[in-house]
Amino acid sequence: MSSQEFIDLRSDTVTLPTDEMLEAIRRARLGDDVFEEDPTVKRLEEMAAEKMGKDAALLVTSGTQANLVSLLSNTRRGDSIILEAESHIYYYEVGGLSFIAGLLPILVKGKNGYMNPSDIEAALRPKDIHYPETTLVCIENTHNRAGGTIIRPEQIKAINEVAKAHGLKLYMDGARIFNAAVALKTDVKNFTKHVDNLMFCLSKGLSCPVGSIVVGSRDFIERARKFRKMLGGGMRQAGIIAAPGIIALEKMIDRLEEDHRNARLLAEGLSKMEGISIDLSTVQTNIVMFNVSGLGISAYNFVELLKSKGVLCLPFSDTKVRMVTHRGIERHHIEKTLAIIEELGSKILNRG
């Protein structure tokens, strides 16, 4: 079975650029971005800064690079930083916060990805010669491992108030922040105004082939630019990456609502199936997590069986499966997926 025949629900990173994006790449005006001379990059960065309500922005290669550059720009080696215990920065970024940035993570367990401000405050150590200085709080919005849940603007504000009371900066891993804004039908600035700086991805739901953006004050972005260069991210004619990013910001944000509708359709269908359990309250954007332990099969085996039927997804643990909707997944794909899962589940239960 060729890859084109699969219903690919592994991640919104599998999206492909639109024809308009590909044409924009071909026509992009280019220059050397290390000399800050690529006009297409400059335009994208200006658009991103304005959309986020910040002074400046920086195009980087990936979400992981965006987070690492931002950690380096917000801290000093030997500092400690506060992270939600299941955060992407801690869980999936190869330990770069410690190996490269020299930072000590302090983990705070959240509920659906949200750290209670009182728990953040409790995690802070007193000033003492024996302790590293805590300088940064990091939040993730939407929260990947919590199932694409939203940290609401009023919750970010409450975290920021605690951070500022203790002289800490607040950074947001906003890889899917536009999903949060679209889901709540609010301007993205209502989230970003409560953080010092943030990043967002172009290469997930916005359908660009590559790239993320770091956004913040001009001083912060100048520091980030130098760290980007240090990490090997000083790209030259980067307008070929920026060109589809411009189209993404102009045309691809509102369509995220379709992904959310499809995720809800998928989740509600799964909730009616014997042997499968799902917490519908966590299905807030385009990520769906569900438990297959009631089928008496591991998530890993379940995923392999689905693959044999033409559906790609990822095991999240021994018992949980993750599916992600995105551009290229339409209602009929969801309906077909549900039919396949229902048939598969029935066979597994009857066999038992």
CA angle at residue 92 from 87 to 96, to 5 degrees? Answer: 100
> Which residues does residue 171 pair with via DSSP β-bridges, in sequence order?
138, 197
Closest CA to 251 of 88, 38, 21, 41: 21
- Give the pLDDT of residue 65: 98
CA distances from 27 to 22, 30, 93, 111, 203 (A): 9, 9, 34, 46, 20
**In tens digits, what is the pLDDT along the chain, a chain of 352 residues?**
344 489 999 999 999 999 999 999 999 999 999 999 999 999 999 999 999 999 999 999 999 999 999 999 999 999 999 999 999 999 999 999 999 999 999 999 999 999 999 999 999 999 999 999 999 999 999 999 999 999 999 999 999 999 999 999 999 999 999 999 999 999 999 999 999 999 999 999 999 999 999 999 999 999 999 999 999 999 999 999 999 999 999 999 999 999 999 999 999 999 999 999 999 999 999 999 999 999 999 999 999 999 999 999 999 999 999 999 999 999 999 999 999 999 999 999 987 5
- Give the pLDDT of residue 5: 82
Beta carbons within 10 angstroms of residue 122's beta carbon: 9
CATH class of the structural domain 19-251 = alpha beta
- Give the pLDDT of residue 352: 54
Whether domain 3-13+255-351 has CATH 3.90.1150.10: yes
| CB-based contact 144:279 (threshold 8 Å) | no
Closest CA to 81 of 112, 100, 63, 102: 102
CB-side exposure of 155: number of CA atoms within 13 Å?
Answer: 18
Q: Give the span between the Cα atoms of 103 and 171, in whole angstroms.
A: 15
Domain residue limits, the chain? 3-13+255-351, 19-251
Mapped onto helix, strand or coil, the DSSP state of residue 134 is strand
The label of the residue with tokens 């790449």 reads: 25
Closest CA to 145 of 173, 177, 113, 171: 113
Q: Give the span between the Cα atoms of 263 and 35, in whole angstroms.
A: 43
- Give the pLDDT of residue 208: 98
Q: Give the span between the Cα atoms of 110 and 114, in whole angstroms.
A: 5
